[in-house]
Structure 1
Amino acid sequence: MMIKVDNLSFSFPQKELYTNITFTLEEGQHCAFIGTSGSGKSTLIDILMDPERYLFEGKLEIDPDCTIGYVSQFSQLDRSQDTTVFEYIGEKYIKIQQDIESICADMATTTDMDTLLEKYQFALDAFEAIGGEDFESNILKKLNLANLMKLKDVRVSDLSGGEFKLIQVMKEMLERPDLMIMDEPDVFLDFDNLNALKNLINTHKGMLLVVTHNRYLLNHCFNKILHLENTEIQEFDGRYIEYNFSLLQTKIELQELTIAEEEEMERNNGIIDNLRHIATYNSEASRGRALKARVRFQERFEARRIKAPFVDIKQPNIRLDIDDEIEEDTTILNVTNYRVAFDELILDHVNFEMKATDKVALIGPNGTGKTTLLRDIFNNTHEAIDMNADVKVAYLSQFQGEMLEDSNTILEDFIEAGFKTYDEIRSYLLNYGFEGEILDQKIASLSGGEKNMLQLAKVAASKAQMLLLDEPTSHLDTYTQIALEKAIKDYKGAILMISHDFYSVVNGMDYVLIIDDKTIRKMSMRKFRKMIYASHFDRDYLEKEQKKKALEMEIEVALKNTNFLLAKPLVDELEELIKLL
């Protein structure tokens, strides 16, 4: 057991984060750390990495020999860095190698051989501890596993953001920490890089703690789940897909118990009312004692009623409405011979058009100009872009500071967005899970998921007829992703969406615009499915995943109507489907 957390409680002045949470991390575990946005996952990671900085209650025991590696959620690429990818990954090995060579050179002239021999042995031990003897071949193996051998001699400053994130993961893994922590390493990775991350995780021999909301990784990578919700934590040994099924079964059991409890409480209330009525005309002491006993029984019964923070999870109510619908056949966007170049040509001869209700995914590898195109469409100043003048457009940026002012509070930002009163904002943002003191917080203090939720709330409030969405599911928890998918499905306008999320593309889009050889071509959803099955999934995986989600929704509806006769056979059907997945 490397890490043990026992009854840990912690809060900020404006928010309670954890109440007596308990869990362990042991050797060999690949643990997914999940929970709704703003529940405190990143803060808990900070506490694990540097417990001296935080005043918490409870116990945190970390094996004194446990080394921790870390890949940040918001890693920044240093464009001035002149080292190659190979040199960057091998930085620690190369440094120790140079130290050893320097010590050997000093041995030829020294009179204090004992001190140098001690330094030499220390350096050799450090080199051996991180697998230094085979470091060159190990780096090449990792690059090959991630299909990034072509980057070996490329300068780090020339990498895309997604490539740099993978290189960071490799660098930390190769240094062999006992525990490696990664905070949303999947954000903004394209399809191929996401698959590479999956391979790196699954072949890693050490202990992992990974914050992620990515359903592809969750379904394919982990053997333990930590779920933080409503200040409590749940520990589950097993796969995410099994954990979700376990939650659903628990929900059914709890709902049956809840109904039985409510009937019992109603019966007790009837007895209490009857005893009170009798007490108005019969003052015998035994009657009073019976009434007091029954009231105490009811209070104890209420106190021990089952509370289930992991079953009753708040899902946002995302609604994407529009002010005025446009005729379905109306062309709202025409792009003709669009071209963009920076140091080199990125896109050329780009031609496509969109109708008033088209829902389109724009996909392609990291660094191929997708965001630049989307931003040019929103700004509508490029000569190759013709936007229908009657169409109102809203934009969600993957660079959250582009659409949100970090120095504003949430309330101030929405007043600037056109809301009239604070009460109007409070009422509106309840649908998105924002309430209480958080509305007075600076936007800079919010988590990545909370910032993206605010952007979604702004986009929805605009009631625009066309939405430009750049990685809208990034940082969002799985419950919000599913709510967004439903909102997109119900939306009556046009959507052009950049996404590397298989599920969002397949579940919500009409067709795909795919970047290929520096231009864009249209692809049907059937061909897109065929293409990603060839690279990433077993055949019909996404259809099975979609059927699983539909069954889960049917079960939820049955539970809402307390129809357990319908819910239970649906759960059996779901269990069989999960075996196929």
Structure 2
Amino acid sequence: MTASLISYLNKTVPTMPEEIREYVASLLSENKDDMTSVDEIFEAVGEYFTSCATNLTEEDVQNLCKRLMDILHDGHEVKANTYSDAARKLETTVDMSIQDNISSKMDSIWKVTAKDLPTLTVDKKKLQKAENKNKEKSAKREEQEASAPKKKTVQLTATASQAKNKRDAKLDDAGMSNMDIHIEEIDLSLGAKQLLSGANMFMTSGHKYGLVGRNGIGKSTLIRMISCGQLTIPSNITMLSVEQEVEGDDTPVIDSVLACDIKRQALLREEKELNESINDPSLTDEERSRLSEKLNEVYAKMTALQIEKAPARAAIILYGLGFKPDEQKEPTKKFSGGWRMRVALARALFTKPDLLLLDEPTNMLDMRAVYWLENHLQEWESTILIVSHDRKFLNAICTDVIHMHSKRLDQYKGNYDNFQKSMVEKLTLQQREYEAQMQLRQHVQEFIDKFRYNAKRASMVQSRIKMLERMPVLQAVEEEGAVKLAFPECEKLGNPVLQLDEVSFKYSKDTQLIFQNICCGSDSDSRICIVGENGSGKTTLLKVLLGELQPTSGVRHAHRRLNIGYFTQHHVDQLDMDMSSLELVAERFPGKNQEEYRAALGRFGLSGDIVFQSISTLSGGQKSRLAFGCLGLQSPNYLIMDEPTNHLDVETVDALGKALCNFKGGVLLVSHDERLIELVCKELWVVKDRTVTTLEGGLAEYKKHVYRQLAIPMQ
């Protein structure tokens, strides 16, 4: 019975997690006798379907429960137990399991006395066997829990609330569609920290909104509160958030993308079932004709949804995100977490929801994929809310910007550059109005204080007091402090400092060469950016330059006083989340006093009480700053940085660019952030086809090359 239920749930609700599917099936099987109506099944397990499959309507869930009812009772009609006798007080405890034994003697079980009850016997062998089995299960469970690695995590609970939008509620009640989104009076907190207070957010259908603000302000938390339903939007709007990577299993990548289209899957399943039924030789002509008509209706729906074009559309999206045609047929379990995040992004782009929520979508992409995503989202017809640190990306996509600051949300028309200009103008005007009002208030208050006790001027004083009371209270502009990052001074080295001569590399004798006879070098003041597609060998090249990997052939030359500071894109994995920032740097770099540690952290924007907070409570950008602080304490004279802008806000990216320009040593970057590359780099290395070449023309020339490859017209 349980297997049949699991099999059915697997087909109808594929998005339901396996453990929940098994729990629902076992719950229904164990309580089969109590499940005598569809309403009882809906009450018991209906919430699991609505939470795991947001596309299901209440009617769909009711139909699903009806089918579960048929499976549970083999299609037989079940009558609920009813009792006509009035409620009565029992004379003694009654064992309901022996009702059948005494029904022949008594009119009703409520009239049973102790003398009428038969003697009960217990099979001690069976009881002992059951107890032993339960003990074995408990011991096995305790053993598994003991062997499982225990993680120490500190989680802050986010809470959100909003005022009920009467306009949207009326439209919902009237069954009218409204694709605009109005979320009013938002209160958002993370633990004891309040992030928003009485804020409003308005999103017009079809517009593309960039959510910007400083690191730790709560942008990702706001996105998460919308995606999980704590902040509600109109029920007719479909929503999808790209948060977790696709689970790795034997499903081919392209099938994983196609499977997210529930309507397509349902129509294909219905088509298959109808074709099988029509081919049944036992059918009458009338039944076959009826099924043929229904099959034609299914074909009409499939044509309207352009189902035949779905595989090609999915393949185009996957190719744009970096999956080659042969890789699209590989199972998802063969790919790393970053690549499975690309599959999750592809599923979202393929589904085309009415509201698409994207939190740092470019973090797992190379420049080629970023350019493709820019072009794809520019043609997107529905609403997008996106958090990104990439200024160029925001400029290319956004039609509006939502600025999160000072516990409120301010909205601006235009892309990020327009937002910056408008914000400066708005804040300047706001400050002028505030200063003018303060001068007026001071002048009026002086008049009131001077003539408060003068009877002749009493009416004038009263009129000015009322004027002050009616005057709107303006707030002074709360300026966000400028972000400043600074790497410490370092020793100037003679050139060249790092060089590869005729270097080839492969991981083992049986694998293919990653690089073949490459020659490249760097000086003490070089500013180099390495670009190339994911999988081309950028990170491997960095490790060869660092000396972590030894060349298969060729020679690596390094200056004898070279001290490399290496920032890895997986720096967060190297931090102890249970420690504070101050404790971490003191443990890694002993021998200094607290003032020196705080000064090192302060150079990268970590100051005040934040240095005493647990690292687990810091935002992604703050963790990156902590990693920069650790880098500075190494006193490097050469920096190698792999994707340093991940999780940084736009202002911090600009500050990082200035800090790297002011750094006296050499800099070698792997980055897809155009803004940082333009600020810092003077030389571009392209990793492709087992070689490293210096591209004349820099980033602009590389962008033209990628656009030609993707057949995208240059703007």
| TM band (smaller chain) | 0.7 to 0.9
Q: Does 1:373 find its partner at 2:541?
A: yes
Q: Does 1:460 find its partner at 2:627?
A: no
Query: Over residues 519-564 of structure 1, what are the superposed CA-to-partner deviations in whole Å (9 max), with x where a residue is unaligned?
Result: 212335x344333345459xxxxxxxxxxxxxxxxxxxxxxxxxxx
Q: CA deviation at 1:61?
A: 4.0
Is the CA contact (8 Å cut-off) linking 2:341 and 2:364 kept in structure 1? no
Other structure's SS at 1:45 match: helix
2:485 and 2:558 mapped to 1: Cα distance? 27
Cα gap change, 1:37 to 1:379, in 2 (>3 Å): farther
1:458 and 1:296 mapped to 2: Cα distance? 58
Structure 2 residue corresponding to 1:232, chosen from 400, 404, 408 = 408
Is the CA contact (8 Å cut-off) linking 2:188 and 2:196 kept in structure 1? yes
Is the CA contact (8 Å cut-off) linking 2:431 and 2:476 kept in structure 1? no
Other structure's SS at 1:341 match: coil
2:604 and 2:455 mapped to 1: Cα distance? 54
Query: Over residues 148-173 of structure 1, what are the superposed CA-to-partner deviations in whole Å (9 max), with x where a residue is unaligned?
Result: 66457442546677765544333222
Q: What's the counterpart of residue 565 of structure 1?
A: none
Letter in 2 for 1:313: E
Is the CA contact (8 Å cut-off) linking 2:260 and 2:347 kept in structure 1? no
Q: CA deviation at 1:14?
A: 3.9
Structure 1 residue corresponding to 2:495, chosen from 330, 339, 359 = 330
Q: CA deviation at 1:427?
A: 5.4
Other structure's SS at 2:201 match: strand
Q: CA deviation at 1:138?
A: 3.0
Is the CA contact (8 Å cut-off) linking 2:186 and 2:199 kept in structure 1? yes
Cα gap change, 1:303 to 1:351, in 2 (>3 Å): farther
Structure 2 residue corresponding to 1:354, chosen from 522, 543, 548 = 522
Structure 2 residue corresponding to 1:177, chosen from 353, 360, 363 = 353
- 1:507-522 superposed matches below 5 A: 507-522=679-694
Structure 2 residue corresponding to 1:8, chosen from 169, 174, 186 = 186
Other structure's SS at 1:244 match: helix
2:232 and 2:343 mapped to 1: Cα distance? 31
Is the CA contact (8 Å cut-off) linking 1:515 and 1:521 kept in structure 2? yes
- 1:235-384 superposed matches below 5 A: 235-257=411-433, 260=436, 271=446, 304-308=473-477, 312-322=479-489, 324-327=490-493, 329-336=494-501, 337-341=503-507, 343-378=511-546, 380=548, 382=550, 384=555
Structure 1 residue corresponding to 2:644, chosen from 452, 463, 472 = 472
Q: CA deviation at 1:485?
A: 0.9
Q: What's the counterpart of residue 552 of structure 1?
A: none
Query: Over residues 278-319 of structure 1, what are the superposed CA-to-partner deviations in whole Å (9 max), with x where a residue is unaligned?
Result: 99xxx97879999x999999998999343445xx23332101
1:101 and 1:35 mapped to 2: Cα distance? 51
Q: Does 1:64 find its partner at 2:222?
A: no
Letter in 2 for 1:209: L
Q: What's the counterpart of residue 310 of structure 2?
A: 135
2:465 and 2:392 mapped to 1: Cα distance? 50
1:129 and 1:444 mapped to 2: Cα distance? 49
Letter in 2 for 1:33: L
Q: CA deviation at 1:492?
A: 0.6
Q: CA deviation at 1:9?
A: 0.8
Q: CA deviation at 1:183?
A: 1.3
- 1:554-565 superposed matches below 5 A: none
Letter in 1 for 2:245: S
2:550 and 2:411 mapped to 1: Cα distance? 52
Q: Which is worse superposed, 335-344 or 467-476?
A: 335-344
Cα gap change, 1:361 to 1:257, in 2 (>3 Å): same
Is the CA contact (8 Å cut-off) linking 2:247 and 2:340 kept in structure 1? yes
Query: Over residues 203-254 of structure 1, what are the superposed CA-to-partner deviations in whole Å (9 max), with x where a residue is unaligned?
Result: 2222222211212221111222222123211122433332222112223323
Q: Does 1:399 find its partner at 2:570?
A: yes
5+ residue gaps, structure 2: 1-177, 709-714
Q: CA deviation at 1:4?
A: 2.3
Letter in 2 for 1:170: A
- Report which of the two structures shows the higher radius of gyration computed on alpha carbons: 2
Q: Does 1:75 find its partner at 2:245?
A: yes
Q: What's the counterpart of residue 46 of structure 1?
A: 224
Cα gap change, 1:262 to 1:333, in 2 (>3 Å): farther
Q: What's the counterpart of residue 205 of structure 2?
A: 27
Other structure's SS at 1:9 match: strand
Letter in 2 for 1:182: L
Q: What's the counterpart of residue 560 of structure 2?
A: 389
Is the CA contact (8 Å cut-off) linking 2:565 and 2:636 kept in structure 1? yes
Q: What's the counterpart of residue 558 of structure 1?
A: none
Other structure's SS at 1:318 match: coil
Is the CA contact (8 Å cut-off) linking 2:321 and 2:346 kept in structure 1? no
2:577 and 2:297 mapped to 1: Cα distance? 47
Is the CA contact (8 Å cut-off) linking 1:32 and 1:211 kept in structure 2? yes
Letter in 1 for 2:669: M
Is the CA contact (8 Å cut-off) linking 1:145 and 1:199 kept in structure 2? no
Q: Which is worse superposed, 480-489 or 440-449?
A: 440-449
Other structure's SS at 2:404 match: strand
Is the CA contact (8 Å cut-off) linking 1:317 and 1:483 kept in structure 2? yes
- Structure richer in strand, relative to its length: 1
Q: Which is worse superposed, 98-107 or 205-214?
A: 98-107
Aligned length: 515
Other structure's SS at 1:474 match: coil
Percent identical among aligned pairs is 20
Letter in 1 for 2:403: H
Other structure's SS at 1:213 match: coil
Q: CA deviation at 1:101?
A: 1.3
Q: What's the counterpart of residue 36 of structure 1?
A: 214
Letter in 2 for 1:316: V
Cα gap change, 1:385 to 1:222, in 2 (>3 Å): same
2:197 and 2:279 mapped to 1: Cα distance? 61
2:497 and 2:455 mapped to 1: Cα distance? 81
1:299 and 1:439 mapped to 2: Cα distance? 44
Letter in 2 for 1:415: A
Letter in 2 for 1:466: Y
Q: What's the counterpart of residue 201 of structure 1?
A: 377
Cα gap change, 1:382 to 1:178, in 2 (>3 Å): same
5+ residue gaps, structure 1: 55-59, 538-580
Is the CA contact (8 Å cut-off) linking 2:504 and 2:514 kept in structure 1? no
Is the CA contact (8 Å cut-off) linking 1:162 and 1:193 kept in structure 2? no
1:76 and 1:92 mapped to 2: Cα distance? 11
Other structure's SS at 1:408 match: coil
Is the CA contact (8 Å cut-off) linking 1:146 and 1:199 kept in structure 2? no
Letter in 1 for 2:526: D
1:288 and 1:466 mapped to 2: Cα distance? 75
Q: CA deviation at 1:321?
A: 1.9
Cα gap change, 1:266 to 1:462, in 2 (>3 Å): farther
2:612 and 2:694 mapped to 1: Cα distance? 45
1:288 and 1:432 mapped to 2: Cα distance? 59
Q: Which is worse superposed, 369-378 or 16-25?
A: 369-378
Q: Which is worse superposed, 23-32 or 90-99?
A: 90-99
Query: Over residues 425-453 of structure 1, what are the superposed CA-to-partner deviations in whole Å (9 max), with x where a residue is unaligned?
Result: 45554554445554444333433222222
Q: Does 1:101 find its partner at 2:101?
A: no
Is the CA contact (8 Å cut-off) linking 1:10 and 1:17 kept in structure 2? yes
Cα gap change, 1:13 to 1:313, in 2 (>3 Å): same
Q: What's the counterpart of residue 362 of structure 2?
A: 186
Q: What's the counterpart of residue 575 of structure 1?
A: none
Is the CA contact (8 Å cut-off) linking 1:469 and 1:498 kept in structure 2? yes
Cα gap change, 1:439 to 1:297, in 2 (>3 Å): farther
Is the CA contact (8 Å cut-off) linking 1:146 and 1:200 kept in structure 2? no
